[in-house]
Amino acid sequence: QSALTQEVSVSGTVGQKVTLSCTGNSYNIGSYAVGWYQQISHGAPKIVMFGDSLPSGIPDRFSGSKSGTTASLTISGLQPEDEADYYCSSWDYRLSALIFGGGTKLTVL
């Protein structure tokens, strides 16, 4: 199955605002809410955003949005503990599959 397209790497300094993007098409992001998952040091992934809804326990410096077939995860006020790999995900009704982006490595400088 095809993957969604994410930046390979993004970096920012503590306190900065960063935005990660995830691009798909009308069969996936254009039709379904997007999930964002944080994976720290190859540990278990953890959901940090679904659509524009913040899961319980996730700091409100995380926010999500979507425009057409591109979704975004914004971290306002970057913290050292935000350094991780971030994956986006969406259902694709043409593929009848849950698909993931290739992941973005977020580095906090």
Partner 1 sequence: QVQLAESGGGVVQPGRSLRLSCAASGFIFNTYGMHWVRQAPGKGLEWVAFIWYDGSYKNYANSVKGRFTISRDNSKNTLYLQMSSLSVEDTAVYYCARWGKNGYELDYWGQGTLVTVSS
- Tell me the closest approach of the beta carbon of residue 14 to partner 1, in angstroms: 27
Buried b (16+ CB within 10 A) or exposed e, 1-10: eeebebbeeb
Question: Toward partner 1, which CB reaches closer, 82 or 92?
Answer: 92
**β-pair partners for 70:** 23, 67
Residue numbers of the site for partner 1 (CB under 8 A)? Answer: 1, 3, 32-33, 35, 37, 39, 42-47, 50-51, 53, 55, 87, 89-91, 96-103
Q: Using an 8 Å Cβ cutoff, are 19 and 43 in contact?
A: no
CB of 20 to partner 1, least distance (A): 14
